[in-house]
Structure 1
């Protein structure tokens, strides 16, 4: 059963990270070209994608991850507790990205805060990935 949950978890992580990176790049594009209608349509499309795919993938990531942690008895492992920090950061980043895109589509306010979002997402994901695979402590 563990391998099936792990497969679902990995698939959901791929969907989540790809959706978050797409949102991050869309926010950068919209900051550069706030009046462009094609960029605006991209933002609207990504907002729908986020609601249909990325947000449910986030829920599945957490549910499958917690299922694996409790099932394998890792709840007191130091590496798992440390892994929760970048995982929580990614969850928060997802929430902030969605709200920033909604705000932009409604008011066209600048979103320069998200210029570094793609690298932050990749670094957090790399930390989660390393801790999950290496289990260093």
Structure 2
């Protein structure tokens, strides 16, 4: 994504549900689904974010697709890196669709997760 405007319209398709919040961690579900007549977008994951001194990403899923997880982590790194905020992220669950789950969608979901966390969690944890 070259600029924030490239992905902003997709925010209306993203749904973030907080599952657990403590002073030092946020566990949430992000669902990004866009249905079209051709290739759509499907991302559904559960993750846990914690403040950290450096970027740390862990895949704790029993079954996941490495290329999609790598794209998700890249999106998170982009989103938090632009803000200068390293995090520890643990991927707890990742659901995929054979056709509509793509690297681009997972990278975008990572950026959206970072945006949500920066606006709704980290300003409170600081």
Which structure features the higher share of helix residues? 1
TM-score (norm 1): 0.26
Greater RCO, 1 or 2 (C-alpha within 8 Å, sep 6+): 1
Which structure features the higher share of strand residues? 2
TM-score (norm 2): 0.28
* Largest Rg, 1 or 2: 1
